[in-house]
Amino acid sequence: MKHIYALLLGVLFGGILVKAEVVSWFRIQEMFWFQSFHMYGIIGSAIAVGALSIWIMKRFGAKSINGDFINPSPKPLHKKANLFGGIIFGLGWALTGACPGPLYALVGSGYGIMLVAILSAMLGVVAYGHLKDKLPH
């Protein structure tokens, strides 16, 4: 059942990404050129809603539907990995005009060529998996 819920939440997220034009290469270039507030407004207000919801859920000891307390663990700090990995992802974000969510949504929108980008991204993950121990973290 939880896999069905995950699927439905994904459908919702994918639909929003397309309707908000977040999946558009044009919008990503516009964002990096600082020519519109659109993407900054989306990311900023998403963070505000996310942060407020987490605060409320923790403050009132909210439980998920399976009965466990909601207490998401923060991502660990790995300064070098966060920075260097972040820069490499940033290069890819501007080149493809898409982050991972939009990659899947673009395939669904009929851009079959983005399947090539997903396969290439998997190759990038494999490369990282092999080089991990040699990279600064």
Partner 1 sequence: MMLQILAEPWPWYIAGPAIGLMVPLLLFVLNKSFGVSSSLKHLCAMCSVSNARFFKYDWKKETWNLMFVFGVFLGAVLVAKYVPSESLVGISDATAEKLSGMGITDFTGLMPEQLFSFSHMLNPATLISVVLGGFFVGFGTRYAGGCTSGHAIMGLSQFSLGSLVAVIGFFIGGLFVSWIILPSILSLI
Binders of partner 1 in range 34-53 (CB under 8 A): 35-51, 53
SS3 63: strand
Please say whether the dihedral angle defined by the alpha carbons of residues 54, 59, 64 and 70, taken in this order, is positive or negative: positive
Query: What's the min distance (Å) between Cβ of 134 and partner 1?
Result: 12
**Residue 134 makes contact with partner 1 by CB under 8 A:** no
CA 47 to chain centre: 12
φ/ψ of 20, rounded to 5, equals -85, 0
One of 60, 61, 110, 134 touching partner 1 (CB under 8 A) = 110
For the segment 9-28, give every residue that binds partner 1 (CB under 8 A): 9-28
Q: Using CB under 8 A, which residues numbered 54 to 93 contact partner 1?
A: 54, 57, 62, 64-66, 68, 70, 72-79, 81-93
Nearest to 39 by CA among 23, 52, 50: 23
